[in-house]
Every structure is written in C-alpha cells, then in structure tokens.
Amino acid sequence: MGVSRMRNPLAGVPMPILDDLIEDEYVRSLAVGIAGMVGLLAAVGLAFPASVAGDLAGIVFSTSTAASTARLAAPIVLAGLGGIFAEKSGVINIGLEGLLIISAFASVYVASVVGIGNAVLGVPAIWIGFLAGIAASTVLSAVFGVVCIEFKADQIIAGLAVWLIALGLAPFMSTVFFGGVNTPNLGARVSWRYSAVMVVVATLASWWALNRTAFGKHLRAAGENPKALDTVGVSVSRVRYAGVMVSGVLSGVGGSALALSIGQFVGSGETMVQGKGFIAIVAYLFGNYNPLGTLGAGVLFAGLDATQIRLQQLGYAVPDTLVQTIPYVVVIVVLALVGRTRIPAAAGDHYETEE
Amino acid sequence: MSRRGGGRVPAVVRRLLAPFVDRTVAERVVISLAAILLSVAVGFVIVLVSGRIATCTTAAWTMPVVGLGFCYDPVQVYVVLFNGALGYPFAVGDPGLLDPAWTPFNISLGLTLSETTLLIFTGLSVAVAFRAGLFNIGTQGQLVVGALATALTVLALAPLLPGGAGGGVVLVGVGTLAGAVGGGFWGAIPGALKAYADANEVITTIMLNFVAANVAYVLVLEVFRAEGSSVVATRYVPEYAQFVPWLFPSSSDFALLALLVAAGFIAGLYYLVEHTTFGYDLRTGGTQAAAAEYGGVNAKRTTVRAMTVSGALGGVGGSVWVLMSEGRWLESVPALGFDGITVSILAGNSPLGVLPAAFLFGLLKGGALEIGFQTDVPTELVGVLRGLIILFVAMPEFFRMAGRYAGLGSRGPGPEPDDVGGADTDGGEPDA
C-alpha cells in the first residue's frame, strides 16, 4: 500500500470531508439520541411503579449487566467498526450479519475439533477457535469483495446474499458435524473482560487508522473521490479490497467473541447473532462513521439489551419486549430529526480504472 | 441522492437502446437461469464435501472412477427436492417416468403452492418499491401488521354478520382490506420519513420490522390472546371466513382461490407499473430522479405512494397468511417478507417475473420438507441454495464475462439500464 512511500499524496486534492460539519452533525445526533434514550427510559420508569424503577436502577448499575453488556456489545461494535472501513472505501457491506454468523460457528467448531484442554503450538484450543472464526469471516468477506469489485455486483444485494448464505451454511454445517443446528457447549469460554478490552482496543486502533494514517486517507479517497486516488497512482480496487477485508477481520473478532463468550453456537431461527449485524450498521451510521461514536451507540444498544434480559429474569414480562423496542424507535426518531447521515459520495458505485 | 443518481447514460443512447430492451429482458432471464444452475452446481459440491466429512456406516453415493464413498447422495438430494415438492410425479427408475398414480392435488404440491401464493404478495411488495428506487426491507413488518389487522378485524366483525358463505365473503373481503390498510400504513411511515425527513429507508424499514414484531407480540400477549392457548396467538377466525381449499387436501393449507387472487394482483400490478401515469412516475423516479423531478414528477409524493402500495401488498400477504394458512395470528410469523426480497431480486423486480420466482422458492420450501423426510442431508441446504442464487443473480457481470470468454455472443459492455434498485450511477449529490 506504500504507507511510508507516500507522504500525504492527496494534499492538493480537495476532499469533501467537511470535518466541522460532520463533527457538528455527529455531536448533534448523539446528543439527541442519548437525550431521547434517557427520556424514553425515564418515561418507562415513570409509567411503572417505583419498585420496577428501583429494580431498573439496580440492574443498570450491576456488574452482571456490565458483563453481559460487554458480551453483547462486542459483535455490534466490532462489526460496526468493520462496516466503517468497508463503507469509507466505497463498498457498502450489508452482509456484516453473515460475517458474524459464520465466524461464530467456525470459532466454536474449530475449538471443539482441536479439543478444549489441547493446544496447538502452545496456543489453547479456544484461542485457535477464535483465530479460525476470524479467518472464516475474512474469507467470506473476500468472496464478497471479489463479487462486488471484480464482478461489479450490486453491493446491497450481494451483502444480503452473504447474510443468507451464512444463515443457511452455519446451521447446515452444525447439523453435519454435531447432528443439530446448535452445537454442544464447549465447556469453556472467553471471559467478558477480553471482549471489553478487544472492543476498546479495536475502537482506538480504528480511529487511529482512519484518521492518522495514509491507509485511512486512501480509504476515504476511494469512497469519496476514487478518481483522485487513481490519479495519484493508488489502485482503487486494492484499497477497496483492503477495506472489505478489514471489515471481515473485525466482524470475525466480534462473531468469535460472541460465540466463545458463551462457549456454544446457537443456530436456530435467526441464529445467536439475532440481527446484531444489522444493529451494527445502525450503530456506525448513528455514530456517523466515527469509531468512537460507533462504540457509544453499540454500548448503548447492548446496554439496553442487557438490561432487558435482566428484567426478563426478574419476571417482568411486558416491559422487556417494549424496552427491547426502544432502541429501534429511537433510531427512527433520530434519523427523522437529524436526517440522513452523509454516506461517502462514491459508496455503492463501481470504479473503472481509466487507462 | 446518489442511490437514484442522475443519468450517466445520455438520453440519446437510451433512445437508441430502447428497441433492444427485449434483449435485456432475455439476458436477465438467461442470467437468472444461469444463476440457478450455478447454485445447484455449488450446492452439489457442498453436499459432496459435507458428505465426506459426515460419518455414516454405508456410503450413500460412490463417486464413479475414483471410488470414493460419500455419506450423502447429491443426485438424490436434488431429485427429492424438486420431485418431492411436486408430490413425486416422476417415478424415478421406472421406464414410464411419469407416475400414473400421481395427481396434482396432493399435499406436497399444495404446500409448495401455498408458499408460492404468499411469496407472490411479498415479492410484489418488494418489487414495487424497488422500481421506485426504494429498498423496502420492511415487507416483513408490513406483513406482520397486516396479518394482525386482518385477524382482529375479522374476529371483531364475525359476531355481527350472518355465518355461512355470504358472511364469509364479506369477512374475507373486509379482512383483506384491513390487512392492506394496516400494511400500507406501516409502509407509509418509512416512505414519509424518506420523502420529508431524508431518513434512509433501508435503516428505517429494518427498525420498523423489529418494532412491528415486538408491538404485535405485546398486543396479542396482553390484550388479544386466545384463552387457554399455549402459544401467543389470537383466537381462530371462523371456518367460513377462511379461504376454502378447493381440490387440494385441507392439511396443505392451500386454497386455489388465493393463488388466483395472487395472479390477479400480478396482472394488476404489471398494468399499474407499466401502463399508468403513477407507474411512469414510479419508474422514472426510480431510475432518473433528477430528470423526473425536472419533468414535473412530484418525487416526494411518489415515494410515499410507492411505499404505501408496497406496504399494502405486504399487508395483503399477511391477510392471506392468516385467512389461508394459519386461521389466526400467531407469534412465530414465517420470514415471508425477507423471502420476498429474494423473490423480487430473482424476478428482476418485474411483476411478471415474480410468478416463476415465487414458484421456484415455493418449490425450495416444499422440497426442503421432503429432504428432511427422505434423506439424511440437513434441510438447511435449501437456505444455502437460496443465498447462492441471490449472490449469483447479483453479479450479472460474471455471466457476461463467462459468456464472452466462452464466445457465446458478444454482449458488449454497453450501458445497461440497471434498475435492480441499487446504486447504479456515479452521479453527484444534487442535494449536497
């Protein structure tokens, strides 16, 4: 990629990334989002008796909620970060859900094949599984990249296909290997603290890569003004492949973390991923392509989900389903108030290199 | 609006291309068929590979020449899939081939056609939005809302009307209308948000799916739940207010009348899209938003209308699901709306194409049940096939390249009007 060779190759190229405007809009969207969220939570709290509100407060600030928030946030935030890389480069990756599913299954499968308690080259089985999950997701994202970049497929439809293929393939393979759509439990798991650390590290690293490196600059140029990038001699296709593959790697970390934090892959219905890949898309749009904003949105959604699960365990049947609905309503309200987030100008378009 | 973008293709070229529009239709049909064949081939390999990994005592299939044994027989899988979905009309191995004892009015074909009927409605729903340049992922939510509206309306009106055929006709009619209104309302929301608040419809419709599922669930759980029901469901609507299963066994949940109604919707929608002013606005808005606006099309109103029509079709799909398949609203609503997306994509978003596409996915659904009964191969294979078909349909360029490589007619890389709903131009942002 010539990171060191090229010092600021696009210095003279006007790029319509209006930092001020985006920061402003971004701050606004998050502020409105959080205000709406808190307001709705308060409304729910007021609508129900004090005992429920007390329970709610207790739940929100408990360690077990923090643990399950970290567990649930990992796939959302990591896939969301991956989605930023892909979309910034000009490839809308709506198949994040599929990448999460395939990595969740592959991680558990490989960990069980190696056998818990065994190690390969000194690496424990569960971490071998983790790497395998990342590899599976990266391979699938590479296929998606070839289909979109080489064969000029419609990105939305190809992304949908990635989701559908993974949605079929993971339970299919699980049935072939384990005789059922759900794998047996490994009997070992990755602590939620690792998930939390990975999420924070990945967020900071993504922010740095996007904003402080030549690679990040190339990514943005490939998505905003591919011709300019081409003019300075950088291959647009290669930058886009890199963006898509990074989304595969990050989603792989998220999917593996999700499955291995439980020690099992659940493949019934929408699988254990349950739409987290789509929520990830919402999270990064909500964060306006900013990794830190994505982290905030992801943790917010995961926190609500975790709170809801705890409420369920305490036997509040009605509020859960409605509490679960809050993030979706808030997203709609925020989108309606703030309007569309500004997607990269060339996202979704094919780029033909001009000889 | 980069999704709808201005014209990259100059009007002159378009006019020159117009006589060849039929060629693009033919090309699309060829690509769809090639995509299906390629998916079948890839599925064949997947079955082989997984059959090599799975453990079994006797090999179901032995590869010729090499002599390797496999646990699954890929040929048998496809025979069971397509033959079984039709109720085994072909007696495999017999010299006569066609089984004389076969009747089209069997359970398996009934299940296949039942699924086909439902997919026609959801496929049309997605197709209409696509034609307007809108990606309606929310057909599922519109179907859920429409289904609930139908069930509640019929349950509320049934005691007020005389029973029997007369009352039944009224109830089915009013119930379906309620479904259309409910679904149309749920579709109009993202349409209005898109038109007047510039909120991305892909996101809002995904969100509204979750909202619809959750709110409908809570409503039925708390207010409309049938007494003594172990699942979250409404009461059954009266027998006479359901579609009557002519000819087919009632256990197949299929009513020929519903399929005929669906066919009528296809014809109606084809007329609406291709031969009316609204259809013209819809199509030009979908392919050339800026030009349409310049030509006097009210883009905002067209967006809301298109999403309302799309939602209403999804809602009618929900009505038919209640009045034909289940007889009540039930919490586990099948993913018919999502499958509608795949139907529409395979159909090239053409109302007429929805019929064969819906039938193919109906076959896959009916065949999946048979695979479960007759073979050891996991039925999830059908899900993989579905994904592969969509993936291959999404990459026409691959087939064009393959065609050029094989020397099959030089379909030049000329500008193809690509109205698959996705971004097809690199036009600027008129609103930036």
pLDDT tens digit at each of 432 positions of chain B? 344 444 455 555 555 444 444 557 777 788 888 888 898 899 888 888 887 777 666 666 676 666 667 777 888 888 888 887 887 777 666 555 676 667 777 778 888 899 999 999 999 999 999 888 888 889 999 999 999 999 999 999 888 887 777 888 889 999 999 999 999 999 999 999 988 888 888 888 988 998 999 899 988 988 888 888 888 888 888 888 788 777 777 777 778 888 899 999 999 999 988 888 888 888 887 777 777 777 777 888 889 999 999 999 999 999 999 998 888 898 888 889 888 988 998 888 889 999 999 999 999 888 888 888 888 888 888 888 888 988 888 888 888 888 777 765 444 444 444 444 333 333 333 333
Full residue range of the structural domain in which residue B280 is found: 107-374
Residues of chain A in contact with residue B214, where contact means CB-CB under 8 angstroms, are 321-322, 324-325, 328
**How high is the pLDDT of residue A268?**
80
Q: Quick count: other Cβ atoms within 10 Å of Cβ A260? A: 27
Smallest Cα distance from A224 to chain B, Å: 11
Q: CB distance from A208 to chain B under 8 Å?
A: no
Q: Helices then strands (H, E): number in chain B?
A: 15, 2
Q: Quick count: other Cβ atoms within 10 Å of Cβ B96? A: 8
Tokens of B59: 């090999």
Angle at A75 between CA A178 and CA A34, to 5 degrees: 145
Of B2, B197, B199, the CB nearest to A345: B2
**How high is the pLDDT of residue A100?**
95
- Spell A179-189 as b/e; 16+ CB within 10 A means b: eebbbeebeeb
Mean per-residue pLDDT of chain A: 79
Residues of chain A in contact with residue B429, where contact means CB-CB under 8 angstroms, are 345
Q: Quick count: other Cβ atoms within 10 Å of Cβ B44? A: 14
Tokens of A200: 């924070």
Q: What does the alpha-carbon distance between residue B378 and residue B368 come to, in Å, rounded to a whole number? A: 9
The verdict on residue A278 lying in a domain is yes
The verdict on residue B338 lying in a domain is yes
Paired strand residues for B330? B233
Residues of chain B in contact with residue A321, where contact means CB-CB under 8 angstroms, are 214, 217-218, 221
- Spell B200-220 as b/e; 16+ CB within 10 A means b: bbbbbbbbbbbbbbbbbbbbb
By the 8 A CB rule, do B353 and A124 touch?
Answer: no
Q: Which residue from B341, B318, B345 is spatially nearest to B329, judged by alpha carbons?
A: B318
Q: Which residue from B46, B144, B126, B360 is spatially nearest to A168, judged by alpha carbons?
A: B46
By the 8 A CB rule, do A96 and A294 touch?
Answer: no
DSSP B104-142: SSSHHHHHHHHHHHHHHHHHHHHHHHHHTT---TTHHHH
Residue A352: pLDDT over 90: no
Contact B397 A165 (CB under 8 A): no
Higher pLDDT, A250 or B366: A250
The verdict on residue A92 lying in a domain is yes
**How high is the pLDDT of residue A349?**
78
3-state helix, strand, coil in chain A (%, to 5): 70, 0, 25
The verdict on residue A81 lying in a domain is yes
**pLDDT tens string A71-129:** 888 999 999 999 999 999 989 898 999 999 999 999 999 998 888 777 788 778 888 99
Q: Tell me how many domains chain B contains.
A: 1
The verdict on residue B364 lying in a domain is yes
Examine the predicted complex and report whether its ipTM is higher than 0.90.
Answer: no
The verdict on residue A20 lying in a domain is no
The verdict on residue A53 lying in a domain is no
The verdict on residue A37 lying in a domain is no
Least confident of A140-149, A334-343, B339-348: A334-343
The verdict on residue A336 lying in a domain is no
Q: Mean pLDDT throughout A248-267?
A: 92
**How high is the pLDDT of residue B18?**
47
**pLDDT tens string A148-193:** 998 888 888 889 899 989 999 999 999 888 888 888 888 878 888 8
**How high is the pLDDT of residue B196?**
87
Contact A156 B135 (CB under 8 A): yes
Q: What does the alpha-carbon distance between residue B11 and residue B76 come to, in Å, rounded to a whole number? A: 52
**How high is the pLDDT of residue B128?**
93
Three-state secondary-structure class, residue B222: helix
Q: CB distance from A14 to chain B under 8 Å?
A: no
State which H helix or E strand residue A303 sits in.
Answer: helix A291-313
The verdict on residue B231 lying in a domain is yes
Q: Which chain B residue's Cα is nearest to A166? A: B384
Phi, psi for B70 (deg, rounded to 5)? -130, 145
The verdict on residue B100 lying in a domain is no
Three-state secondary-structure class, residue B66: coil
pLDDT-derived band at A320, boundaries 50, 70, 90: low
Full residue range of the structural domain in which residue A231 is found: 75-300
Q: Tell me how many domains chain A contains.
A: 1
Of B207, B215, B341, the CB nearest to A160: B341
pLDDT-derived band at A58, boundaries 50, 70, 90: low
Paired strand residues for B233? B330
CATH number, domain of B115, equals 1.10.3470
Residue B180 class from Cβ within 10 Å (0-12 exposed, 13-18 middle, 19+ buried)? buried
Q: Quick count: other Cβ atoms within 10 Å of Cβ A300? A: 21
**pLDDT tens string A283-315:** 888 787 888 888 988 888 888 777 777 776 766
Q: What does the alpha-carbon distance between residue B403 and residue B395 come to, in Å, rounded to a whole number? A: 13
The verdict on residue B413 lying in a domain is no
